[in-house]
Structure 1
């Protein structure tokens, strides 16, 4: 410690390896790179898939909302059993296989477009299949990180991965906007497919593998699902995080389902302008990832979970107040703030969830929280579409902003309000 202090006092720069932290680890570095490629593909999907429906197939508001529902319905369909199944398998293998199959699934959209076969029903089917595969990938991904980096480095690992995801949140829409304008939304999905394929291939090179879970001759899916549910529901902090996320995600999807409709039809933005607005969200997410550890340390790991949403969610009302012209880019500040607060919150709450869960239940914890937290997302898409048909895109953005702000209540009313540090011991 004295030597480190003397080095700082003399103005000598610390070795680059010290600043890299977990990135010095070969396997984490490869997971980091694989995640970057997969997330880049995912961010392009976020812009390109709805624009295939809006611009190429001229879908109405309800049809766009239904497409959003299909994208996220996987959590409702397989959310709970996915955790039990993943806990029986090596997480790395699940990540690789789902990445490669998602890549092939997305590839069918540009192929169908070029063959003149693409319809809204085709989009719905691809969105649903992609969403189901994403559930398995995400459950395995969250469960794999504690094994790869160790529980003592969870906050650093989550923070670095969030930083990278934030960078792709900027670069994805920035890349997708011009690509959609140049080659069309269907062809742009080729980039998404390639990103996910490369992500899966890179994950194959990760050397550190978990021990294969012990096989039981008496596997009972229902009992395993029940064990995961019971574990999450009996912990007040885990329960509050899950419920807060459920409310937030419901209204976020209502908001997002009409955001592109609002920008394209009411503001009159072209794909490049839409990509620029969404890139602002990525800038906020990047800043949030860079600040997450510092903010959580100063504010407290628990309090930051509800404060981050309380401070940033109300700013999303700037978007429905916008009019064609410069004001829409001012309104993008609200979206950037939403992303900033969301990343700060997710880094802290993900570390809480992982630290409080024993290894054998990580998959089921992740699947249970995802099932409840994301289970309302398909409903959010349908409500967003229905609300858009009745109140218009602008009215739906107002409703979404109010609902996201109210999502702070479950966490505020829980022990997280005063829990300043992560648990030091995982549950038995």
Structure 2
């Protein structure tokens, strides 16, 4: 079983923990590199290969299809393996697969279907990496420092969101999009090396102690959906991702073709908007102290649902597109980070260590599993109704997402459950809900989170 070790020095900041700093440095570079690929790949598709709305929808669906196709068994497999070892292998696969794009471009062979194939491979590797990443944290630090560790990971990710898109826009302009992708390959290799030098306290059960695969998957699903609070959080996140993906699938076409912005401007918008994510990361502990951990979830969900409406509205005033897009991205990122901080730390805190992989995979299966479906729908609707109309459908539909937590029990409590429980999932709803709220030095949750899609993410 996985476990975290309560050391006498647990109260010290993680900035004094050399082991934590090792994995943190690797993830900082990886997050920065991911931002480069996130801008460079759609630029390659839209400007270099002249991809249509439908082709962009297929490409976006391929990026996240693995969460729908293998998300559930991946969680059960990961709970049988050393999570750090899974992450090392996933980084190696991602680096090799992504390196194929500049190689194919250099050979004059690059086509959209090549990009789709690479996206599928990257998606499978990312499923294993992300679920392991979220599940590894309790084996790296004492339980009282889970929120602080998550906070430092996410704050770093937000800094990468600020610097990465601007650097990506400059790289794309200076050396072309395919060569810019090589920077991401390098950061994945750096992450792999950092993980090789990281040590964890995870203990994996012996093979004879493992339940059959289907039973293991079922246990993870029962744990998630047997908890009345997690059920509502998952519903809000999945509906938000469903409709947000309608908008964000077509965002490169909206920015580069409809509004006529350059890749450099696109990168600057994402970078300035990401300041909102960093602000949300910093503000979250203060918001939690002021209004309570539980109410922070419906409040932030209302905020990001309303912010989504502003994205297609920019098309009504194209002369002001740049500043309005920055403001919209800022507000969306701020609200999403507050929401993601609170819900990810909560679920890591209450889930038994032996179920962490399956819990994260079960949630990802639902909240990310809707995204490839929505991406394909977005491509079809974009061809039929046009880019802007499709984005309006996504923005208006996104308003529905907040209802699951707005009309839930979150307003009647101040704090969320605080301690792990090894009770069966059916009893999860009976865990006391008035424990002290988690507070951290930075107060933000999760590296690759399950947040509603924000900005260009």
Provide TM-score, normalisation by structure 2: 0.87
1:169 corresponds in structure 2 to 161
1:271-282 equivalences in 2 (<5 Å)? 271-282=263-274
* C-alpha distance in structure 2 between counterparts of 1:415 and 1:149, whole Å: 31
In angstroms, what is the RMSD of aligned CA positions? 1.8
- Aligned mate of 1:75, from 67, 81, 86: 67
Contact 2:346–2:418 under 8 Å retained in 1:
no
Contact 1:261–1:393 under 8 Å retained in 2:
yes
- Deviation per CA, 1:48-101, whole angstroms, max 9, x where unpaired? 111111111110111111100000101011100011000001111111111121
1:146 equivalent to 2:151? Answer no
Contact 2:79–2:354 under 8 Å retained in 1:
yes
Contact 2:274–2:329 under 8 Å retained in 1:
no
SS in 2 for 1:197: helix
* C-alpha distance in structure 2 between counterparts of 1:419 and 1:73, whole Å: 37
Q: CA deviation at 1:252?
A: 1.6
1:65 equivalent to 2:65? Answer no
* C-alpha distance in structure 1 between counterparts of 2:402 and 2:11, whole Å: 34
- Deviation per CA, 1:199-232, whole angstroms, max 9, x where unpaired? 1111111123422332226641111101111111
1:337 equivalent to 2:331? Answer yes
* C-alpha distance in structure 1 between counterparts of 2:270 and 2:357, whole Å: 31
Gap runs ≥5 in structure 2: 1-8, 423-457
Could you say if the C-alpha distance between residues 152 and 20 of structure 1 is closer, same or farther in structure 2, counting changes exceeding 3 Å? closer
Which stretch shifts more, 48-57 or 323-332? 323-332
- Aligned mate of 1:32, from 24, 27, 30: 24
1:365 equivalent to 2:359? Answer yes
* C-alpha distance in structure 1 between counterparts of 2:12 and 2:176, whole Å: 39
2:283 corresponds in structure 1 to 291
- Aligned mate of 1:411, from 401, 405, 409: 405
1:420 equivalent to 2:420? Answer no
* C-alpha distance in structure 2 between counterparts of 1:177 and 1:18, whole Å: 41
* C-alpha distance in structure 2 between counterparts of 1:210 and 1:18, whole Å: 17
2:395 corresponds in structure 1 to 401
- Length, aligned pairs only: 412
1:308 corresponds in structure 2 to 300
1:197-346 equivalences in 2 (<5 Å)? 197-216=189-208, 219-322=211-314, 323-346=317-340
* C-alpha distance in structure 2 between counterparts of 1:102 and 1:218, whole Å: 29
Which stretch shifts more, 363-372 or 44-53? 44-53
1:10 corresponds in structure 2 to none
* C-alpha distance in structure 1 between counterparts of 2:211 and 2:305, whole Å: 43
* C-alpha distance in structure 1 between counterparts of 2:399 and 2:82, whole Å: 38
SS in 2 for 1:421: coil
* C-alpha distance in structure 2 between counterparts of 1:207 and 1:316, whole Å: 41
2:376 corresponds in structure 1 to 382
SS in 2 for 1:264: helix
Q: CA deviation at 1:135?
A: 0.6
Q: CA deviation at 1:257?
A: 0.9
Gap runs ≥5 in structure 1: 1-16
Contact 2:73–2:217 under 8 Å retained in 1:
yes
4+ residue runs over 4 A deviation: 17-20
SS in 2 for 1:237: helix
1:59-138 equivalences in 2 (<5 Å)? 59-138=51-130
